[in-house]
Structure 1
Amino acid sequence: MIKTFTHNELIQYVYDELPDEVKTQLECALMVDQELAEACADLLLSKGELEKPEPSRKCISNILIYSQNLSLQS
């Protein structure tokens, strides 16, 4: 029997939130289903982009100060 996986299950896999049994099934499916593997790879890349470092507090502070000064000039 071929199990299909939802987009939500792929996201759970990427964030390591799937139950072990489902995770094993998905990993087997990833080895034989190129389309599923590509979708998973896209999600992994997206996750990596989301986890990039945030701007420093100093940078945020400078932006807020600039914004306040700009609104005072108006």
Structure 2
Amino acid sequence: MQKRSVILAYILWLFLGQLGIHRFYTGRTGSGIIQLILGAAGWATTGILIGWFPLFVLWIWLVIDIFLIPGMCRNPK
């Protein structure tokens, strides 16, 4: 398997993190889909206030991903 660029993963996290693109890049397709769903559903339902809960969960997860990205790049799936 090919090693991924940590810098590119952080750039994807910064600009497209709420869509889970950095997870797709590192081969974590399943969790990338979950992040994509959380972000899309959260932003789609913020008008009725329900969306803030999935967005809060996603934002906590994205903060944790800051520390996980180097390992995900070293060991892509």
Q: Same fold (TM over 0.5)?
A: no
Which structure has the bigger radius of gyration? 1
TM-score by length of 1: 0.32
The structure with the greater share of residues assigned to helix is 2
